[in-house]
């Protein structure tokens, strides 16, 4: 079973985004095979939807090369971990305590999330963007049921080039945001909800049916795809 | 086929709402039978989802007793038509020209609609409320893509006891409204939309999945049901 | 991850219902953060859909402040637990033994449930209403397959201002009840059933399609939403 | 195209129900071919879901042999039309005028329908039963929103061996009926409804999910199938 | 929580089928309450969809009164267990070894199943019929992929008054059977299958859409309902 | 709008099947453009799902070059029409009158259809196979409700290399056929049915879930695809 | 009914895209009201999904001000029609006859469509982009069944900043394109297809599930939304 | 329970494919019964979808006769295990190290898979083909996001008679492959994906809706069915 991987090394050059491994349906053994291949070639590799068990299995075989981020389920195979600007300087220095806003000055991408239940997807976006060299600002728990929270942010949001909106339940955040800002809004529906909202399909369909034009929709829980799309959008200005 | 009707005359006493005929799946002949029965008993009867063709057929057989309202598709069998307070006094007197707001002072129920495409359902609600003795105020074209329109109304809306929200597409209006007002919000999803929004199911599911608590949801395009529910809610305070 | 919460303290004033935390998709760590915040501010906080594991984790960190109600999955962060009137006086004193009816004299809200499988949702409604200051009367196991049980209750039900109907399977209870009483009926579909009934969608769609007008529908298993809606309906009479 | 029919003449002997032609998806030309075949063999043939246009086309080619029943969409190819007992004797003689009940004394099968919108399916059942030699009693417009109408019938219904229940919308009639009578209930969901109820799937799923045991369900609008099943049930007692 | 049960003791008299407890969504504590109630009243009680854990919990509290049948998940609360005729006399005496047919001479009901994966549902039907006093004959593993198995049974099947057909996957068994026999066929779709067949919906829809008339369909995996329906059909001949 | 077509002339060489135009969603003007292009290049072109209106429009502009087959909705742009072997010799010579079987001796492909409602799809398969140089034998109206019709054919069917099975409703024909013959079975679900069977999805899912292995499934009503697949299968033996 | 419109004039400034009227669910009378309003204010207005009938009605009332584009169903209310660069210069001059490629040199946006059936949506994108001041290049009939057509375009496509991909059926075009180019791909699923592909949901879900990262998905047939998103993406580089 | 199996020993002769046991919904006890039956008759038996637990249970009772293949979940009951040609000779001898291609020279069937997540289904196909006497060549990780991988294989693929394509997510591989090769393509959708792609339905529907003609589709994850179909296709050439 050892010859089954064929990594698309040219993908970064061809499409602005390198090949990333979706680990969810792969066995720990398969992940180890491809990780070892990268270590041997001295190439870094990024994985998404990695369970804690699989991460542990990888760490035991490739000590020091595996950097797992539990909340997001992302994993980096590399000599060095990802370092966020906000991990270097204390965010408390720039924002009052208790704030739900983690600001990185001069960030081009903002992540806006309806509630704390969306944090795993928010984290996948953040980690992917970090891996792709584009740290972002995060605004969490600004759902439309308390609209003032979002309205207060309007001016701040106008300073970002791209807004990634993350919401489950009914996904009303997507329409409200897209009606307020000039930046393109990338909608990431989240599988948070129950009853008819279970699985995130309501949030997805709300994003697709929005009466506010110009929303770019990605699959449910697809934080990686949203980050990749943001990178491609930013590159438009550089071509 | 003439003996098939059995009207529930006691329903008004039993449930606060009289029997109303859903005409959509009934033939003109069936509607004529029941309308004649009411005329003979000198009882009024209200019908919903009546096509223009069926209305014409009824008018030719029961001249003077049929009052059809085309936009809403409602029809009253009675000696006198429904009269709206706003039809008696000019609305231009109380509101500047070009306004999208038709105000009836002291109305307890407000109807708030996302767009003009929702007008047939808005009209069904208005006509049913009129028939039930409860004229309402209407605010149309205040969808969330231009949020300022709704925010400007917040104070006015606080003067109403019950808000009936009408929206198709993604139905974000329901959540935004319910987060802004104290009155109970009755959500009427409308079958306006295309693609995944076709048929109104996205708006319906958004209302049901809303992160704003306390929304009362009715079936898609069910303007009659929303009006009936409003009447029952208002009656709570009178018991 | 500690700055991600932004509680909507003004929601009670703005909408008649305070912010309540939906715990299902949040981690124990996230719940602890927000609970601690409330303890520090000497504010109470109510949570729904809390698992026993998460409740235990909270209790170990905030001893004496966590009041978990297992059947309903609700949890109160406060100095004192909720006290039901029926817990104070013996219900046996007012009703013969073996009865399925727990009567609180003078209660405005009645909860009517088809079967004992619906008890977790019934309990979520009861606990939420208690938290919101509105204890209710409960009638359980009165499904339509044995219609006499419901018919016997008709007179008793007429003494309540609002009926919250709770049913899974085919949800025929909603239509039958709404045809019998003057009070508005809030329908809470329950995810009890199998085959085509699995997940509660049949009960939900029955409530929405009911031929009995004036039913207010909430999401499947949404006991909290039903309670919040009841509170808002009762407040109509006080404005 | 003329050799494509192969009628299953033995089906009556083999299964208690003769082959019946479902005309909906067949062309007028195809129907004429098979009707001519039967006329030549001096065999009668029954068709369902025949449009008025196709019936007219058949009548013009086989004058005197085509007996079309418009409301039900059924058509008999035979020398003589079907004659209902109720067409022979006046029903007014046995029931007061204005009644919704058409009684045939000593009928074994009763058809109970929620509303007059269900009449086309009721008529398909009646005509099929007539063709199969089993005239039935009809009770229409006894939906559960006015429950007293059904309760008043309980004793009368106990005199029938089999109950065919016909309902659209939420189909609560099926459960209520099955909880009241000893006879097996055959549930025929009808494609009457709108929004989530459109197409009859809610009524179908309600019948399948019913908490009242022993309901025999057939496809939406399948009046013919219900009649055939009733015939087979009655034959159980004769074997 | 102890007063929530209200057993419908009159259901047997009213509908030919006694109240049976669907245990799936009830807690062991709830089941114990109702079982104790029956023991105290010296009434037997039958439960379906009981897990092994819940059965063990009941047995520990009501020793000697609990008779659990693991394969079917049914449980009888009574002094004596159910005894099948086939358990008394050896079936080997009447059939050659290795046969898949368990014959009870003179049985009125036959159960025909497509494959051995359907055995849990077959067993629920058998146990329920035994409880209702109507032991049945079982024919298993006669799916249509090896049609000769079914054709060989045709004559034997003609000796039964009612056929209960049990099948998952595509459910072709229902149509083939109904085209071969005079007895009414009760179709029980089974949640056996994968991909598009997962959950049993394909088998259900095949039964409902069958081109063979006169099939009585029940919910997926609803062995109890099929048995109850068979009892009601047999009673038709006795009225 | 005239430059939008880019015909894949090499497709026949590359894949064994030439490019065929799906006319359903194209305008008459678009079809004329591509037909004219082919006439100019002296290439034949085959179209499927052509309406009579569009065919008439083409015939008026390209007289003598358009050969429309109404039942199948196929259209050939060429100097000569397709000629079926059965059109040349009288089929009556080889089969008794009244037969539903049209035999072409030595044909490799057989088309077996459940009912005459399936004829438009059967005809699309026949015409496409003719165009591709592979005339077929047709067996119609052999649905499983009268199983003897199919069993009588078993030996004849064994003489064909490939069986294309065509069925709507519940699609039981696919499983029964695949259990009887050695040839691969191509299942073509047909959008014939109503209620849950509407649109052909039940037949499709039955084919996919079949317990008989080795069925090749194509899209609903996709007669063209089935014919193309048969051609590719036959070519396997020639490589 | 005349006061129901409230145009969001500030939307262009706020979000980079002006308010556009979705005409599909609005009456001709409603469209006339809003068009007249714009004419009076000397503002242009763009409408989508306008039927030919409604366009004719508008033209008769506002002669000279209505510019209807039939293929796309778009309509401009203004003194002057939209003028495409390609309408000014002959496209034949820059491309050989018979080409499916309409090149506008130096265009930033490319529209790539799988087949000619997608032309109405392609045209809606083109017209909207023209209205928004961003004419585009069109490549049609390059579906993946003839992959060489797309591969030949790869270099040309690399000269565009943004690719709008338009496809119905299975929507494989989205993934193939996104794997070949650096520009962000906006996927517009089209309601072209039949059977399981009917309505465009398969193409939509393919776009959302694509294994090629960075695809921005919009609703089925939402050409306007794709154009608006492209405009917002291009504006990123200008902020 | 021991008499419930009735193996269809003649299926191989009748249909080219022997009876194979689908173990998923059968108990270990049931599997042991049928395995013992085969051991006693000295017949081999093949099972699919066997869990590791059930395999272990079988091995403990029938030591030496049970050959379990974990990745594919297949199990052979026989004296000897299956031996792949590639297990006998080293594949490294014919292909450079690190290759994802396992070539068996002169193999008639090729298996082409989009990604390594598809390996369990690929393995089920390989093992089934081995059991049926037809070892195959495997090409894995050639998804369309890196199209060059597939294009490089085009010539090699032309050497195979049948291509089995295996893909989850959006299933674009099916269309691309079918447009490139002459051999018939059997599409096996895989339940790999999340959000709208969860469960494999998107890949299935893409295969069915493909614009490339001549794809033979089987159920999601149905590796066994694909192998059986390949065998039947190959047999066409031998008849």
Instruction: Out of H6, H19, H219, name the one closest to residue E195 (CB).
Output: H219
CB C3 within 8 A of CB A142: no
Cβ contact, residue pair C147, D195, below 8 Å: no
Mean pLDDT across E121-132:
97
Q: From the CB of residue G79, how many other CB atoms can be counted at a distance below 10 Å?
A: 11
Q: Average pLDDT for consecutive 10-residue bins of chain F (239 residues)?
A: 69 89 96 95 96 98 97 97 68 44 71 96 98 96 90 93 97 96 97 96 98 96 98 85
At C101, the pLDDT band (50, 70, 90 cuts) reads: low
> pLDDT by residue (tens digit) across C153-166?
999 999 999 999 99
> pLDDT by residue (tens digit) across D183-226?
999 999 999 999 999 999 999 999 999 999 989 999 999 999 99
Mean pLDDT across B160-181:
96
For CA atoms A165, A167, A173, A175, the dihedral sign is positive
Percent of chain H clearing pLDDT 90 (strictly above): 78
Chains touching chain G, criterion 3+ CB pairs below 8 Å: A, B, F, H
pLDDT at F98: 44
* Token digits of residue A163: 């807004």
Instruction: Out of C6, C10, C26, name the one closest to residue A100 (CB).
Output: C6
Diameter of chain A by CA atoms? Answer: 56
At D92, the pLDDT band (50, 70, 90 cuts) reads: very low
Cβ contact, residue pair B6, D149, below 8 Å: yes
Distance CA G9, CA B98 (A): 14
At E94, the pLDDT band (50, 70, 90 cuts) reads: very low
Distance CA B14, CA D102 (A): 28
Chains touching chain C, criterion 3+ CB pairs below 8 Å: A, B, D, E
pLDDT at A93: 40
pLDDT at D9: 84
Instruction: Answer whether residue B88 shows pLDDT above 50.
Output: no
Cβ contact, residue pair B229, C184, below 8 Å: yes
Compute the nearest-CA separation of G152 from chain F (Å).
13
> pLDDT by residue (tens digit) across C12-51?
888 889 999 999 999 999 999 999 999 999 999 999 999 9
Cβ contact, residue pair E17, D181, below 8 Å: no
Mean pLDDT across C55-71:
97
pLDDT at E120: 97
In total, chain F counts a number of residues equal to 239
* Token digits of residue D95: 């029931």
Instruction: Out of A146, A176, A180, name the one closest to residue B172 (CB).
Output: A176
pLDDT at D188: 98
CB D160 within 8 A of CB D108: yes
Instruction: Out of F100, F196, F198, name the one closest to residue D6 (CB).
Output: F100
Mean pLDDT across H166-172:
97
DSSP G182: S
pLDDT at A102: 54
**Which parts of chain G register pLDDT below 70?**
1-4, 86-106, 239
Chains touching chain A, criterion 3+ CB pairs below 8 Å: B, C, G, H
Q: Pick the more confident residue, G162 or A93.
A: G162
Mean pLDDT of all residues belonging to chain C: 90
Instruction: Answer whether residue E218 shows pLDDT above 80.
Output: yes
At H39, the pLDDT band (50, 70, 90 cuts) reads: very high
Mean pLDDT across D59-77:
97
Diameter of chain G by CA atoms? Answer: 56
Kindly list the residues from chain G whose CB atom is less than 8 angstroms away from the CB atom of residue H179.
Answer: 144-147
Judged on CB neighbours under 10 Å (0-12, 13-18, 19+), C90 is exposed
* Token digits of residue F78: 């060429």
Chains touching chain B, criterion 3+ CB pairs below 8 Å: A, C, D, G
Cβ contact, residue pair F211, E115, below 8 Å: yes
Backbone angles phi, psi at E47, to 5 degrees: -125, 150
Diameter of chain C by CA atoms? Answer: 56
pLDDT at B46: 97
pLDDT at F7: 84
Instruction: Out of F172, F179, F196, name the one closest to residue E175 (CB).
Output: F172
Instruction: Answer whether residue E130 shows pLDDT above 50.
Output: yes
Where are the strands (E) in A85-207, listed by range? 101-102, 109-113, 137-139, 162-167, 185-189
pLDDT at F157: 95
Q: Compute CA distances F197 → B140, C163, G136, H76, whole Å.
A: 41, 38, 44, 39
Instruction: Out of G176, G205, G212, name the one closest to residue H202 (CB).
Output: G205
Instruction: Answer whether residue D89 shows pLDDT above 60.
Output: no
CA D83 to mean position of chain CA atoms: 15
CB G72 within 8 A of CB G127: yes
At A106, the pLDDT band (50, 70, 90 cuts) reads: low
Compute the nearest-CA separation of G85 from chain B (Å).
31
CB C222 within 8 A of CB A170: no
CB B104 within 8 A of CB B155: no
Mean pLDDT across C161-184:
96
Where are the strands (E) in chain C, listed by range? 21-22, 45-48, 66-69, 74-77, 101-102, 109-113, 136-139, 162-167, 185-189, 215-217
At B8, the pLDDT band (50, 70, 90 cuts) reads: confident
> pLDDT by residue (tens digit) across G182-210?
999 999 999 999 999 999 999 999 999 99
Compute the nearest-CA separation of F122 from chain E (Å).
19
pLDDT at E2: 41
Kindly list the residues from chain H whose CB atom is less than 8 angstroms away from the CB atom of residue G180.
Answer: 147
Radius of gyration of chain G (CA): 18
Radius of gyration of chain A (CA): 18
Kindly list the residues from chain B whose CB atom is less than 8 angstroms away from the CB atom of residue G10.
Answer: 146, 148
> What residues of A are in the B interface, CB distance below 8 Å?
114-115, 143-147, 169-172, 174-176, 178-180, 193, 195-197, 201-203, 205-213
* Token digits of residue B54: 């069926």
pLDDT at B101: 57
Distance CA G174, CA G209 (A): 10
Count how many pairs of residues, chain E against chain F, have C-beta atoms within 8 Å.
119
Strand partners, A163: A110, A185
CB G99 within 8 A of CB F3: yes
Cβ contact, residue pair C224, B213, below 8 Å: yes
Cβ contact, residue pair C49, A140, below 8 Å: no
Distance CA A149, CA B70 (A): 43
At D15, the pLDDT band (50, 70, 90 cuts) reads: confident
Which of these ranges, D222-231, E7-16, H227-236, has the smallest mean pLDDT?
E7-16
Mutate to test the interface with F, among G93, G117, G124, G153 (most CBs of F within 10 A): G117
Mutate to test the interface with H, among F19, F163, F232 (most CBs of H within 10 A): F232
Strand partners, H166: H113, H188
At D93, the pLDDT band (50, 70, 90 cuts) reads: very low
Q: From the CB of residue A60, how many other CB atoms can be counted at a distance below 10 Å?
A: 11
At C67, the pLDDT band (50, 70, 90 cuts) reads: very high
Cβ contact, residue pair B214, C180, below 8 Å: no
Count how many pairs of residues, chain A against chain C, have C-beta atoms within 8 Å.
63
pLDDT at F28: 96
pLDDT at A165: 98
pLDDT at F2: 40
Nearest one of G131, G153, G128 to G140, comparing CA atoms? G153
> pLDDT by residue (tens digit) across A168-213?
999 999 999 999 999 999 999 999 999 999 999 999 999 999 999 9
Mean pLDDT of all residues belonging to chain B: 90
At B89, the pLDDT band (50, 70, 90 cuts) reads: very low
Compute the nearest-CA separation of A23 from chain H (Å).
8
Compute the nearest-CA separation of D201 from chain B (Å).
15
**Residue linked to tokens 């002291």:** B106
CB A179 within 8 A of CB A146: no
**Residue linked to tokens 């005459």:** F116
Mean pLDDT across E135-163:
93
Q: Is G9 helix (H, G, I), strand (E, B) or coil?
A: coil
Mean pLDDT of all residues belonging to chain E: 90
CB C71 within 8 A of CB C119: yes
* Touching, B vs E (3+ Cβ pairs under 8 A): no
ipTM summary value: 0.91
Nearest one of C40, C90, C47 to C62, comparing CA atoms? C40
Kindly list the residues from chain H whose CB atom is less than 8 angstroms away from the CB atom of residue E196.
Answer: 201, 204, 219-220
Nearest one of H184, H175, H164 to H237, comparing CA atoms? H184
DSSP sequence for D14-34: HHSS---EE-TTS-HHHHHHH
pLDDT at F96: 43
DSSP sequence for C164-191: EEEE-TT-HHHHHHHTT-SS-EEEEE-S
pLDDT at A101: 57
Over the range C210-237, which residues count as b (16 or more CB within 10 Å of their CB) and which as e? Answer: bbbbbbbbbbbbbbbbbbbbbbbbbbbb
Cβ contact, residue pair F204, H208, below 8 Å: yes
Distance CA F36, CA H21 (A): 56
Kindly list the residues from chain F whose CB atom is less than 8 angstroms away from the CB atom of residue G84.
Answer: none
Nearest one of B68, B93, B62, B67 to B80, comparing CA atoms? B67
Cβ contact, residue pair A175, B144, below 8 Å: yes
Q: From the CB of residue A106, how many other CB atoms can be counted at a distance below 10 Å?
A: 9
């Amino acid at each position: 079973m050892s010859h089954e991987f064929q990594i698309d090394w040219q993908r970064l050059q061809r499409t602005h985004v390198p090949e990333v491994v979706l680990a969810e349906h792969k066995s720990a053994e398969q992940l180890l095979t491809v990780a070892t291949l990268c270590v041997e070639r001295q190439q870094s590799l990024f994985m998404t939807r990695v369970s804690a068990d699989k991460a542990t299995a990888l760490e035991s075989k490739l000590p020091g090369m595996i950097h797992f981020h539990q909340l997001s389920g992302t994993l980096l195979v590399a000599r060095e971990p990802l370092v966020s600007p906000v991990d270097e300087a204390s965010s408390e220095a720039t924002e009052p305590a208790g704030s739900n806003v983690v600001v990185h000055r001069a960030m081009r991408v903002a992540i806006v999330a309806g509630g704390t239940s969306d944090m795993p997807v928010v984290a996948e976006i953040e980690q992917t963007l970090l891996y792709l060299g584009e740290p972002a600002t995060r605004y969490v728990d600004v759902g439309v049921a308390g609209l003032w929270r979002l309205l207060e942010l309007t001016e701040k949001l106008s300073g970002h080039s791209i807004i990634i909106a993350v919401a489950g339940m009914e996904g009303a955040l997507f329409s409200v945001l897209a009606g307020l800002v000039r930046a393109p809004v990338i909608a990431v529906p989240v599988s948070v909800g129950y009853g008819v909202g279970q699985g995130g399909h309501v949030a997805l369909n709300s994003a697709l049916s929005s009466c506010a034009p110009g929303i770019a929709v990605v699959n449910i829980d697809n934080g990686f795809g949203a980050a990749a799309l943001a990178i491609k959008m930013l590159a438009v200005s550089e071509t």
